[in-house]
Amino acid sequence: MKLTTYIKGLGYYVPERIIDNNELSTMVDTSDEWIRTRTGIEQRHVVAPGQNCSDLVMESAKKALAASGIKPEEITHIINATVSGDDAFPSTATRVQAKLGITGMALDLSAACSGFIYGLQVARGLMALEPEAKILVTAAEVLSNRVNWKDRSTCVLFGDGSGAAVLSASPTPPATGHPLMANAVIEDVMCNADGKTGHLLYCNGGCSDFPYKLGDIVGPENFIQMNGREIFKYAVRTMAGISQQLMEKLGYTINDFDMVVPHQANTRIIQAVGDRLGAPAEKVFVNVNRYGNTSAASIPLAMGEAVETGVIKPGMRVLFTTFGAGLTWGAAVVKF
């Protein structure tokens, strides 16, 4: 028998600095019209000098904890999804743990844009073994440090941000009067990957596959490399496919869902996923225009904003689906 896992509180955060398309056009050969037409993105948030991944995590984690009514010292595990953490090691999760002044299990999880949904699944497994656990699942990216700002095929896409959720097996009500309060049930999660397609989206500079020596000049391998045409096809096919698999497993059809929240990669992918699932446009959540692709933070940022603004209301059943480098993909069904 599966243990019911509840989302007790949500939080999200984006840095204050905004780079809109007009400013970006002064940095690289592009234009507002070119970017909007191809991606639907109007602006993206980027970190300030000295602001790092754990700083972003802390902002969203504090909000999620406040919404949950759970104190930091009650958290038993931290799972942080990122591909752009503070350091190669120690993990960003341990940095967050230190800033919260707590101990317990803490780890980073690398599944690129699928990281948060992967994190939910890992948390559900841990909770099955430790039913009294209270788990902080976070996702944050500082991809502004990993894009080549002279490559218009990638730099226009990505933004920085974070999201967080507090998970518990307890059905007790969360803190009241909080705009990000939630007591949602994670009905099920499904994750998958195909490592043979990893060459379509990667960043390998400085790692064991492409090591640097002292004094080496940093080259394009230090920044995101992507085959956009192929990624588009895989993203649509895998997000729609795993969503259908999860719906079939649970005995649902798309008509059983009040909202679909795909990974916020670009509007073309989002619309194509919605069309393939048969979801009407008004039931497909979009905020990529204001944040860009925030990778692992995309799903929790969208979830938190949709709850805060009332787009997702109590009683709604929502389908989340995602896709990222690896290639990885996943889906989750949440009843709010």
Q: Which of 80, 266, 287, 293 is catalytic?
A: 293
Residue of 45, 77, 113, 191 with catalytic role: 113
Angle (nearest 5°) at CA 62 between 264 and 75? 105
Can 263 be counted among the known catalytic residues? Answer: yes
CA-based torsion, 99, 105, 111, 116: positive or negative: negative
| Phi, psi angles (nearest 5°) of residue 259 | -155, 145
Residue tagged active-site, from 21, 77, 155, 263? 263
The answer to whether 293 is a known catalytic residue is yes
> What is the DSSP code (8-state) at residue 57?
H
CA dist 300 → 10, 114, 213 (Å): 8, 11, 37
Pairwise CA distance, residues 263 & 320, whole Å: 8
Which tokens hold the place of 297?
């933070």
Cα distance between residue 50 and residue 55, in whole Å? 10
How far, in Å, CA of 294 to CA of 311, rounded?
Answer: 20
Catalytic residue positions, numbered:
113, 263, 293
